[in-house]
Amino acid sequence: MTTTNAAAAALVGPGVDRVDGRLKVTGAARYPSDFTLPEMAYSALVRSTIAAGTIARIDTARAAAAPGVLAVITHDNAGRLHKAKWNLAYPPPPPPLQDAKITYNGQYVAMVVAETRQQAAAAARLVEVTYDRDEPVLSIEDPAARPKSNPYFLDMKRGNVKTAMAAAEVTVEGTFTTSAQTHNPIGPFTTVASWDRDTLTVYDSTQNPFLVRAVLAASFGLGEEKVRVLSPFVGGGFGAGLRSWPHSILAALAARTVNRPVQLSLTRPEMFTGIGRRPSTLQHLKIASARDGTLVAIEHEGTSTASMHSDSLYPITVGTIVSYACPNVTARDKRVRLNIPPIAHMRAPALAEGNFAVESLLDELSYELGMDPIELRLRNYAAVHPQTGLPWSSRALRECYKTGAERFGWAQREPAVRTMRDGRWLVGYGMAGVTFIQNHAKGQARATIRRDGTARVCSGATDIGTGTYTVMTQLAAEVLGLQADRIEFELGDTRLPWAPEAGGSGLTAALGSAVHNTCVALVKRVLGLVSDDPDSPLHGCAIEDVVASDGRLARSDDDSRGESYAEILQRHVLDSLTVDGDSAKPRGSTGVLVGSLAVSRLGRFGHKLIGASHATIPASAFGARFAEVRVDPELGVLRIARIVSVTDGGRIINQKLARSQLIGGTVGGIGMAMFEETVTDPGTGRVANATLSDYLVAVNADVPDIDVAFVGEPDPSNPIGAKGIGEVGLVGVAAAIANAVYHATGRRIRSLPITISQLL
């Protein structure tokens, strides 16, 4: 089956405008904070002012007597909340307000519920808490930091690194550090909770509504069918919404306590402690090569910080094992527990930090060898998956290097450091390669064709601003042969078919494949209605024999012989026809659904899991980043002049949205390289810069010309040919900038963010 009409054929690829754009610019899109229910009350939180210890006494009398207050809830009267089941990628939070133990500054110790938001906030300030303090552990280098037990296969290896290192002709090594960073989406996370007897309805800022449903159901001892989570619009996430957080549980607790709907909206300072952050990291890396640049051994050990409670999987070295064709590699991760807020995945988690170290040290090796940095990477190009020996389903990294170098003008680079100038400014060129690892998930969808010729397609996923509404509309319209405005796509409700989280750069491939397969099944169902109808021009046609266009199905060998959906449904006295489907690949297809991330996590056990019968490793995105910087040697001022970002993103469903994602990722990479750092007071564990005026992010004046290009072909590992690109744009940017700084100044940067003191 094909889609041939020009309008439908043009739906996938070109920059189709967002289908939800008008709702957003007119204010009609309803975010969780926009939902107002009858008799709704408001909650405000009281947070710990110490990082370690216990609550000795909590006095709520003044708060309870304040105007408008309906309830003050502490660990003394919260009642028992149950802990949800363990989740490998997104562990549930410890049930809040269950005991007097304090493990980080900013932990919730009380909650006030009042008639208005202002009354709740005012009363929360009246709660008096006395603590018995313990000495907190706050630094990754603190000798008191306890190693966190490691339940994952994160010690990955191949070959014999020790022997190869001893015999190597050239060796470089270094220690790299990256600072903690905090997600700062525009929309403060909000939960609105309402009970109807034993049924709970929640509007929540989340990227993972089905996980929130599971956690809330477990917390209150309910069946999941008794909990409904809605998130039709989310004001950004960057990974902060992948886990379920205590404030969502507390909103439901507050609503149950006062027997009224309750809204709980986090303040900006609470966003710094309540929804996770990127951990600080410490990495030691050693690379050995032959004199001709052939890599012979890589040893990479990464340490990241974790809170005192369970945190998400965070393998910094996971990309090292698959990026280059090196025969001897060890990649080891460990974590240390600190008295800090929970850790969460933040855009390109672990891969961004690991790439900074690997691509920086490779750049250092290129200078040691007197070799062009691109040539060094091409000489060690991984034509097959290095850990398994299986071919990638697709890989256009060579084209990324070639296209990026041409667009950037890499040939004009003077190889020696401190040789390029523009007046007083030192000029530097730097680059980095990117091998990304995305989540290869599954999803479900439902598709309905109506007698009026319109269609409704739905799934319970969320759209965090990346364009899921639009892309899924495009994919459905393409298969059904309808104009985009004839498709209604609905998401953000756990009563709809199950969908994975909007994270891990896996939603487009997972949900898009589900939408594609479901719409194909719907067309088959329509054809089934006329299969035994001798009066139908489609009599006896299989799906391979028809073309979908302009709301009708026609024979591929004679498009004059066909019928519209409306005609078929009307003749069979049907108002609509509905099909449920999922993203499972059709029978007889080749490839493997086990993703590169799973293989890398499992290390040497990965090949056994995949099995010899599978043909390929489903590839994620690949890329190359090129940066030009200017450094004032007297002032230590660093400016980014331009960045070229080239990505193998498989089939690009919407070029406008894809380009926007890559630009956004690049800006995030600039922030990682130059600005973003969550600063913790060394005495109290308090986040010292928990406002947008103190926490620096890249703004318009910091962002240079960004040239985005795509290369590669559709990836055959999924039916829509897509790869996830939501995160890959950030990876490699920091390394390219740091490498450009070295070329300009001769100073090797091994700690992020880059500061003036490092350049003076």
Catalytic residue IDs = 727
Q: Residue 549: exposed, middle, or buried by beta-carbon count in 10 A (0-12, 13-18, 19+)?
A: buried
Q: Residue 714: exposed, middle, or buried by beta-carbon count in 10 A (0-12, 13-18, 19+)?
A: middle
Paired strand residues for 455: 449, 487
Q: Residue 534: exposed, middle, or buried by beta-carbon count in 10 A (0-12, 13-18, 19+)?
A: exposed
**Measured distance CA(714)–CA(711) in Å, rounded:** 10
* Residue matched to tokens 């190009």: 381
Q: The tokens of 77 are what?
A: 């009267």
Instruction: Using the CB atoms, write b or e for 315-350: b if 16+ within 10 Å.
Output: bbbbbbbbbbebebbbbbbbbbbbbbbbbbbbbbbb
**Measured distance CA(124)–CA(112) in Å, rounded:** 6
Tell how strand 546-549 and strand 552-555 pair up.
Answer: antiparallel
Largest CA distance in the chain: 86
Instruction: Using the CB atoms, write b or e for 214-244: b if 16+ within 10 Å.
Output: bbbbbbbebeeebbbbbbbbbbbbbbbbbbb
Neighbouring C-beta atoms of residue 444, cutoff 10 Å: 24
613 — phi, psi (to 5°)? -80, -15
Q: Could you tell me if 639 and 1 are in contact, meaning their C-beta atoms sit under 8 angstroms apart?
A: no
Which of 442, 548, 468 minimizes the C-alpha distance to 210? 442
DSSP summary character for residue 13? B
* Residue matched to tokens 């750092």: 677
Residue 268 belongs to what H/E stretch? helix 268-274
* Residue matched to tokens 């289908």: 19
3-state SS assignment for residue 511: helix
Residue 354 belongs to what H/E stretch? helix 351-369
Which of 78, 53, 43, 71 minimizes the C-alpha distance to 130? 53
Whether the bond between 633 and the residue before it is cis, its omega within 30 degrees of 0, is: no
Cα–Cα distance list, 240 to 90, 230, 506 (Å)? 11, 17, 16
Q: Residue 473: exposed, middle, or buried by beta-carbon count in 10 A (0-12, 13-18, 19+)?
A: buried
DSSP for 540-572?
T--GGGEEEETTEEEETTEEEEEEEHHHHHHHT
Which of 364, 347, 353, 283 minimizes the C-alpha distance to 319? 353
